[in-house]
Structure 1
Amino acid sequence: MIWTTVLLGGLCVLHIALLLLAEGSRSGSSGGPWGRTVTFQRGRRAPRLQRDTSSSTDNLNPSRGPAFASCQLPLTPTEHRILDDNTQETGFNGDDGSHVILTWVGDGTGVILVLSTISAPLDSYLAGGSSRLYRSTDYGKSFHDISHRINHTFIKEELGISVGPGSSVILTADIPIVDNPGGIIFTSTDAGATFKSTQLPFHLDQSITYHFFNPDYLVALSIDDSLWLSLDFGARWTKVHEGVHSFSWGAGTNLFFSCSRVDAVEAEERGDLVLKRTKDFGKTFTIIHEDVFSFGYIGAFLFFSVMEDPRSPRVMYFSSDQGQTFNQALLPSASTEQFYSILDGDEDMLFMHVDNPGDTFFGTMYTSDDRGILFSKSLERHLFDGHRKSDFTNITSLRGAYLTNKLDIDGRIRSVISFNRGGTWRPLKKPQNVNCAGNVKRCNLHIHGEHSRRNQIVPMLALSEPTAIGLVIAHGSVGDSLSSSQHPDVFVSSDGGYNWRGTLRGPHHYSILDSGGLIVAVEVHREGQVKTIKFSTDEGQCWKSYNFTEQPFFFAGLASEPGTKAMNVSVWGFRPEEDGQPMWVAVTIDFQSLITRECNKKDYEEWLAHSTDKRNSERNGCVLGMKETYRRLKKQSVCRNGRNFVVTKKQIPCPCTREDYLCDYGYYRHVNTSECVRQPNTPNKTFEMCLNGEEDELLTAGYRKVPSDKCQGGFTPQDVVQTIIRPCGVKPSPDPSVKSTSVGHFDTPKERLVLTLVSVGAAVVVLVAIVSSVLVVKGRVNTTRMPAYRFSNLRIQDDNNSIAAEFGSAASSNGTACQHDSDVDLLE
């Protein structure tokens, strides 16, 4: 697995910039081993968080929110001595590097690489500049300078360092293009213990991309838009194709890429790209579709937008079989002032946002079925700000839980949560230990998301981990809506978001260690320095504070091994020196020396997830057709889960009800009933969504099980007579025998290797790769035709916890599209 710690800047590595630390987060592009993130600034103002009407304090001097009891315990002299003996401070000079990148390598290896890089022009290289590379094998307690292993070569920030599956590492050297056939990479298969230098036959345009599971398979895009492939971890490279715009690994050895036509001019602007697939490492190709503007791959779904002629709108297509067949998405159209955005997805379903017309900063969220055909309305007025950022968050510590924000009619931002994968949404409960101040009509917890982080209101987003069952940590405010006139406080939930409590006053950086057995936090001081870390062994109910250094420094972030297994945490920062260069500092604290007792059976409890109605034993805890009982640590247990801790659970299927099913295409739930009925075949053909006049048969009984629902028995739609309806846009991929061509060859025996990937594992890795990413599709629209669409009707709860009326038809202008400034880089 790949362990990479984020402190500032990019998605997958820690970028610490001196200018960044002084002035806050930046905009622009940043990269990591799995892709690229680009920030776009749209020329309009984003919605602002509402002030708390009970306070007149302005944003320059934020007020405290409603008071809550916070348990603070003192360290005992013994605890203080133990922590002092197991805290190590390391200082190192960044030399000429303006950035420092920290990267974890491997799973449980304890290896950290620290690389100083530069984002300046190549003058420094020509003058003999070099980067420094440091390595730690003890979780950051000590570092050793290993710059000689990369020949003291200069590494530029934009390409920098990438880590892959296992213990693989790639460093990309910054070599002047003049008189050089290509760049230089340094590769390591032993977590940086040794490096091998390789001269590339091309110059890289972006970071090298690993295969999801096999670190030997590498793909790279050169500055002349050629696609290159290596099957031996970078030792040899073969050119796969020219004129490539973007690419993505699929399942197994499927590699997708979009490229220009031979005779195309400005293909990217005209939507004139060709989407191709190779399954044999570039020996043969299959054309999936022409007239493609952009594409992406997430979970088990390939998706792409098509402009079939320059005057037509773009149309979104989905494929769940690696492009063998594909279906037009049954979604409302979007004009040139709107966009589509893939929020999340796995092998079962997708979450998609469809923007509303105009400068509204909200839209409608839809969820797909397992075919990528039928999209059901999930949440209206879903917030999506002017930076192309959504507050949508997957709570990974509880199956089916998602958190997001919506922009209500009164202009206020309010938080909602779903426990059944978007089927219903509800407000968050007021924390148990917080009372609302002032005369507010509604008092709920509201969580700060990406919109708040970009506006520098909070330092980090909500945090959850799959091994810390039910645990969620987030910044929020309590009141009628999300407030910017208060300091955001830290709140914790132990049951996946059903119930919350206030735990820390003011903004903090926080991290989960030991599979949830330990939480650490460092308070944010915008202009001050830090020297104290807080820690809790009872999921944030009580905290102890420890001064980890005698000389405070400017905070850069927490560095703890992802995956929550370790009990070591590093606090990173810098102290300015007299010569103007920063002295970088890493203070590593080993909490394993403090919490020495291994947990035993008595330290754990059986916990039924989603338990909300104990009076109904049959249905209590039934979510998505399953009851799940987890074995997890008791809050009062002060012990160590350890690296061998494995989450265990018992699953019991629930009897099926109609709520476990969606209404299939051509059917809808009639008002005040739970039965799916056939959409009347009226003259305007409201269930016919063909933009191109093609129709295909779809056999259906009117019901389709909710994706990921595991119910058994009970209600079954097989009792209903099946009928045939005709959705449009279901097309096979072009015949490979016609569209395939043979190019190039590989001399390695690995060329015939075909991987069979477990679908669930593939989905997890793909989700890691796109954990902060969205797809945005743009296009031109012909607004003369306005078909109406009928969707299956999901229910949502309004702010008063009552069931809202079922959704009916939704009319919109046709076209599948979004802002032109967002497709150039597909994944933000």
Structure 2
Amino acid sequence: LLLYDYNLGSVTESSLWRSTDYGTTYEKLNDKVGLKTVLSYLYVCPTNKRKIMLVSDPEMESSVLISSDEGATYQKYRLGFLIQSMLFHPHQEDWILAFGQDQKLYSSNDFGRRWQLVLERITPNRFYWSVTGLDKYPDLVHIEARDAEGHAMYITCRIHNCTGATSNKLFPGHIDHNSLVVQDDYVFAQVKGYIQVNCLVFPLSPFPSLDMHIISTDEKQVFSAVQEWNQNDTYNLYVSEAQGVYFTLALENVKSSRGPEGNVMIDLYEVAGIKGMFLVNKKVENQVKTFITYNKGRDWRLLGAPSTDVRGNDIHCLLPYCSLNLHLKVAQNPYTSGNIASKESAPGIIVASGNIGPELLVDEEERASSMFISSDGGNSWRQVFEEEHSILFLDQGGALVAIKHTPQPIKHMWLSFDAGNSWSKYSFTSVPLFVDGMLGEPGEDTLVMTVFGHLSHRSDWQLVKVDYRSIFSRRCTEKDLQAWELHNQGEACIMGENRVYRRRKPTAQCILRKKYIGAYTSVPCTCTDSDFECDYGYERHTDGRCLPAFWYNPSYVVKECSLGKSYLNSTGYRKVGSNNCTEGVREQYTAKHQQCPRKPPRGLHLVTSDGSLATELTRNVTFIVHLEEGDAPRTSLRMDFGDGTAVTYANLSSVEGGIQHTYKHGGVFRVVAKAQNSLGSNRGILFLHITCPVEHVHLTLPYVAITNQPVNLTVVVWPSKLGTLTYYWWLENKTEPVVTLEENVSFTFTREGMSSVTVQVSSGNSILQDVKSIAVFDYYRSLLLSFSPNLEDYNPDIPEWRQDLSKVIKRTLARVTGLPEEQMLAAVLPGLPTAAELHLLPHREDPEHRRSSADLDQICDMVISMLNQNQVQFELKPGIQVIISTAHLTLAPLVDSSPGHSGSALLMLLSLAFVGLAVFVIYKFKRKIPGINVYAQVHNEKEEEMINADTQIEVIPTVTQRDLITCPEEFTDAEVDKLHLGK
């Protein structure tokens, strides 16, 4: 027995106790596990109760203490990880899986003494041991793990060899997070409205579903609860056939609620000991009512109320307006009974809390709940208490113990030895006790129980042992047993058989032997309509017939049906799962074998394995092709991936696991799947976006612009083959961007001064930006500068050097001419020989002359004169003087937007510009400057480099952005040198 103090979310102190006489005496074991050791969990091996494992509190230390002698002695072992939960192997007593707080899964094959890593990035509590009869190896595990992007996937592997190379990914794509369930012979993984069962995929509903829970998988059948798109607090119940593949609706609008930890709880209870028997709370016109079924959801009915109350007063309750309604929440705490209880060892006995009336009382009204008991499998009920009680089954239901649910201290309990027909009151303690729970030792097959609680909220634990063995002086014999026939309102044929159980007589005061637990005999009965439910795709109408649903085509033939083979043609009915009836209408309702017809392919669906319409470049894309109808083995499939590649498969059945393809460049691709046989063809089309992360963005724009005249802004993106990009332009300090799908935009600046231009380029989840400044004036002058040849030996032709030289040019001209640096803009051009452009701007501090171009003409003439006279020079290093001179006027010797110019002046300017352009092109050609220079964006870069005044990037007409820039892997070293990625 492990006791601990829990304060502020952590264990502060613990104590370990052991009893070998059913709780009569206890021995404290703290000295055997370490006086300072704080324990948080106790595990008992399910296949060998002698083996016990204790886990230390992770905030104190990481260790386990192991006992092989029922807790008498312990050995301590240090761990390299913190255990969050453990799972024992169902057959191998020394094999354990442990989930760590680091989201990793570990395994041990020596009962926790040594551990090894199995896999990383595991979903909590979504790992399972191998299923006997389903898996080949006993050390195989089923795991829901996450990939690097956080997507969930279903993996199977052996615990000693679970690397990425050796693990098996049975499902080709991603699965919904926290959806993997391995239960009995079934494996479930939800995938956006589809369920994967034993590697099969099937549609659960014609409408999209929001959530799904597996209720039961026994008797080779799956019982599940599904929340449809139009439901909030209710679920629909579905039941499958034996294969667990095709589901049909069993009941709509079953009530649900949320647990303390936010988990969904379905108001459904499977009665222990009687197969096919369920109780549910169904919402009917905003009223919650309790229904019962004896044939796994084929038929449902309300519960009839007792005829009298606990005091013997008559109860007037007429169906369907009034019925017995029960709370169906099972206990989350193993030491309390919850709202309802039944035992496999006591078939037919059901104890539950509830109320009588038109609906179930919930929330605050639950305080008015009474306790009811049925000893005939839910056919009739008796009220036994007016308040809620915890019920404990002892000796296979031969003794029922009831303790009142109350926040007050109590000292009495109730005991029944006749299946709840009569109750006797007993005192279990002389001092009232705050009861926290009770436990049968070692289970329901004994007459010893322990009640534990506190005398006060500050006192230590109090344990009270209650031993009823002295009441029974002998063991039961055949004379103490009686036959009880299971029935439903008098109908004895249930699930296709008559079942007769052997139970103890209510008056027999004896201890029941284990060989009588759940013993019954069964005789098959003749099949009737009630033994058959509607098959997949069919719905039951008011007249009882099963007719096709509006979304189902009854002439549908599965795609696996190949010519020359046969298939089962449904009659609209199928036998209820685990039903054992014989003859009767069985032949009438059983599906008939028919020859597979020749049909053209129909309903070809093409999707990606994860349902996504976008993926990143170089990542494998898995396409799933699903054919609704047609001869799949005799149908070919051609996949055109839209990038110039295609593949053909002679047999469509061979691609059920998916078709993988890797795209080499980005874009939007039209993927076409075409299925074809001799009778026809069918196509499925998918538009897939392949995105490539943006690595570099370079904004090109004129360094100087004229007010009220359009300016072309262009962005160069690397790599170029990114598919569809989105460009966001923030211009002239506007708060809202201009959004385009093209890499260029034309904009007119209306205000003089320095203006910032920001462009952001978006590709998938990748966004990069570049920011440049542009000077906007009504007019300006531009000069092309050259330098003395001695500068060439010191030109490394890198952006940082050009930026520094631009600053030197401005400082030198300011010193020689007396002009302020703010009136000049200098940009050193890439390449050799060294050249630069100088832009002369209107003086901002002289409002009178700012709008006159005459002053700027005089300044330009003065600068040209000084340059031609070699008066402008600077010292590069001691003894090395560099002379700056003018080459010729550039493309825009004078740009003026004022209306005062004459036509002849404009004509002269145009002629001069044309001559300048010709000279400029010849000069450039002779200098053999590289065709283009692209500068990649880096963080914390220096002042923006000034390039050409009109473009800030040289453009060779035969080279386009698409031709020049490509994905990184397509560059050669020579091409990189040619592109000259500067920054």
* TM-score (structure 2 length as normaliser): 0.54
Give the alignment of 1:362-761 within 5 angstroms.
362-387=234-259, 388-409=264-285, 411-434=286-309, 435-436=314-315, 442-450=321-329, 460-484=338-362, 485=365, 487-526=368-407, 528-561=408-441, 563-576=443-456, 581-610=458-487, 612-613=489-490, 620-642=491-513, 645-665=516-536, 672=543, 674=545, 679=548, 686=553, 695-697=559-561, 699-702=567-570, 703-714=573-584, 715-716=586-587, 720-722=592-594
1:287 aligns with 2:169: yes
Corresponding letter in the other structure for 1:709: N
Q: Distance in 2 between matches of 1:417 and 1:406?
A: 10
More moved, 439-448 vs 635-644? 439-448
CA contact (8 A) 1:440 1:480 kept: no
Structure with the larger RCO, 1 or 2 (CA within 8 Å, 6+ apart): 1
1:259 aligns with 2:145: yes
1:300 aligns with 2:188: no
CA contact (8 A) 2:288 2:360 kept: yes
Shift of the 421–441 alpha-carbon distance from structure 1 to 2, 3 Å rule, reads closer
1:333 aligns with 2:219: no
Q: Distance in 2 between matches of 1:472 and 1:240?
A: 44
Match of 1:248 in 2: 128
Q: Distance in 1 between matches of 2:167 and 2:14?
A: 41
| Count of residue pairs brought into register by the alignment | 568
Match of 2:32 in 1: 149
Which of residues 52, 59, 77 is equivalent to 1:198?
Answer: 77
Deviation, structure 1 residue 285: 2.2
Q: Which has the higher helix share?
A: 2
Q: Distance in 1 between matches of 2:42 and 2:116?
A: 22
CA contact (8 A) 2:225 2:235 kept: yes
CA contact (8 A) 2:219 2:578 kept: no
Q: Distance in 2 between matches of 1:554 and 1:467?
A: 30
SS of 2:190's equivalent in the other structure is: strand
Q: Which has the higher strand share?
A: 2
Shift of the 316–196 alpha-carbon distance from structure 1 to 2, 3 Å rule, reads farther
Shift of the 477–631 alpha-carbon distance from structure 1 to 2, 3 Å rule, reads same
Deviation, structure 1 residue 483: 2.5
SS of 1:465's equivalent in the other structure is: coil
4+ long deviations beyond 6 Å: 437-441, 687-690, 725-731
1:208 aligns with 2:90: no
SS of 2:469's equivalent in the other structure is: helix
CA contact (8 A) 1:318 1:329 kept: no
Q: Distance in 2 between matches of 1:353 and 1:134?
A: 42
Q: Distance in 1 between matches of 2:202 and 2:244?
A: 8
Shift of the 143–649 alpha-carbon distance from structure 1 to 2, 3 Å rule, reads same
Which of residues 258, 264, 277 is equivalent to 2:156?
Answer: 277
Q: Distance in 1 between matches of 2:292 and 2:604?
A: 34
Identity %: 26
Contiguous gaps of at least 5 residues in structure 2: 133-137, 610-619, 621-983
Shift of the 685–374 alpha-carbon distance from structure 1 to 2, 3 Å rule, reads closer
Give the alignment of 1:86-235 within 5 angstroms.
113-118=1-6, 120=8, 130-155=13-38, 157=40, 159=41, 161=43, 163-167=45-49, 168-176=51-59, 183-204=62-83, 206-235=84-113
Deviation, structure 1 residue 442: 2.1
Q: Distance in 2 between matches of 1:530 and 1:395?
A: 30
CA contact (8 A) 1:330 1:375 kept: yes
Q: Distance in 1 between matches of 2:159 and 2:219?
A: 23
CA contact (8 A) 1:327 1:372 kept: no
SS of 1:652's equivalent in the other structure is: strand
Give per-residue Cα distances to partners, 1:737-768, cap 9 Å, x unaligned. Answer: xx9xxxxxxxxxxxxxxxxxxxxxxxxxxxxx
Please give the root-mean-square deviation of Cα atoms over the aligned residues, in Å: 3.4
Q: Distance in 2 between matches of 1:255 and 1:448?
A: 37
Q: Distance in 2 between matches of 1:656 and 1:229?
A: 50
CA contact (8 A) 1:317 1:327 kept: yes
Deviation, structure 1 residue 622: 1.4
Deviation, structure 1 residue 543: 1.0
SS of 2:455's equivalent in the other structure is: strand
Contiguous gaps of at least 5 residues in structure 1: 1-112, 307-313, 614-619, 734-738, 740-828
CA contact (8 A) 1:695 1:728 kept: no
1:361 aligns with 2:233: yes
Shift of the 291–344 alpha-carbon distance from structure 1 to 2, 3 Å rule, reads same
Q: Distance in 2 between matches of 1:583 and 1:701?
A: 69
Shift of the 208–510 alpha-carbon distance from structure 1 to 2, 3 Å rule, reads same
Corresponding letter in the other structure for 1:353: A
Corresponding letter in the other structure for 2:146: S
Higher gyration radius (CA): 2
Q: Distance in 2 between matches of 1:584 and 1:315?
A: 50
CA contact (8 A) 2:433 2:454 kept: yes
Shift of the 644–658 alpha-carbon distance from structure 1 to 2, 3 Å rule, reads closer
Q: Distance in 1 between matches of 2:581 and 2:169?
A: 39
Give per-residue Cα distances to partners, 1:37-96, cap 9 Å, x unaligned. Answer: xxxxxxxxxxxxxxxxxxxxxxxxxxxxxxxxxxxxxxxxxxxxxxxxxxxxxxxxxxxx
Q: Distance in 1 between matches of 2:498 and 2:595?
A: 33
Q: Distance in 1 between matches of 2:428 and 2:422?
A: 19
Which of residues 181, 188, 193 is equivalent to 1:315?
Answer: 193
* TM-score (structure 1 length as normaliser): 0.63
